[in-house]
Amino acid sequence: MPKVLVVYASMTGNTEEMAEAIVEGAKEAGAEVVSKEAFDASADELNDYEGIIIGAYTWGDGELPDEFIDFYEAMDSLDLSGKKAAVFGSGDTSYPIYCAAVDIIEAKLKELGAEIAGECIKFEYNPSEAEKEQGRSLGRQIAGLVAVTG
Ligand SMILES: Cc1cc2nc3c(=O)[nH]c(=O)nc-3n(C[C@H](O)[C@H](O)[C@H](O)COP(=O)(O)O)c2cc1C
């Protein structure tokens, strides 16, 4: 069975809501899915999954959330070649750098060799029904790709 890991940081629940939609989609596509908050996960766990989907809201002045920093820094020791990856996160367009965390994580995944295999999802506050459907679709897509190549 294809294995997909969803790791996310969410302070007020918006990014978590999208994580739940992505998990639903990946399960629909037949994947074994594990979903964890970043502070409960270790970066090494990424090695055990063919599909990795990472979410974080944006904090500060276009920064990663504090509870994601340890995970992010520990990622540096990994080689993620061959992994199918995607990123999602909530933000607020009234800040100068909208959803920067999504871009920062996407760049890190690419640097470590992962293939960004689905469109990264940025959304404002909590996800709308349409955005959650986009999340389900992303989950299905990554799970489907992993099933084919994994
Ligand atoms: C102190 C603070 C700083 C923030 N900075 C940004 C930012 O730079 N860019 C952005 O898009 N959103 C920013 N936000 C908005 C949050 O990312 C947004 O509220 C998001 O929906 C929170 O997601 P969560 O419910 O998953 O925690 C900031 C929010 C707070 C409270």
Q: How far is the CA of 19 from the centre of ligand 1 (A)?
A: 16
Among 100, 91, 94, CA closest to 62: 100
- With the most atoms of ligand 1 within 8 angstroms of its CB, the residue from 6, 90, 103 to mutate is 90
* pLDDT at residue 149, as a whole number: 65
pTM beyond 0.85: yes
- Determine which helix (DSSP H) or strand (DSSP E) holds 148, and give its type and residue range: helix 129-149
Find the 58 Cα to ligand 1 centroid distance in Å.
5
120-123, Cβ contacts within 8 angstroms, sequence gap of 24 or more: 120/86, 120/87, 120/88, 121/18, 121/86, 121/87, 121/88, 121/89, 122/88, 122/89, 122/90, 122/91, 122/98, 123/14, 123/18, 123/88, 123/89, 123/90, 123/91, 123/99
Q: Give the number of domains in the chain.
A: 1
123: nearest Cα among 28, 10, 6, 30:
10
- Kindly report the CATH number assigned to the domain that includes residue 9: 3.40.50.360
Structural domain boundaries, residue 121: 3-149
pLDDT in tens, the chain (150 residues): 889 999 999 999 999 999 999 999 999 999 999 999 999 999 999 999 999 999 999 999 999 999 999 999 999 999 999 999 999 999 999 999 999 999 999 999 999 999 999 999 999 999 999 999 999 999 999 999 997 765
Cβ neighbour number for residue 12 with a 10 Å cutoff: 11
- CA 66 to ligand 1 centroid distance, Å: 12
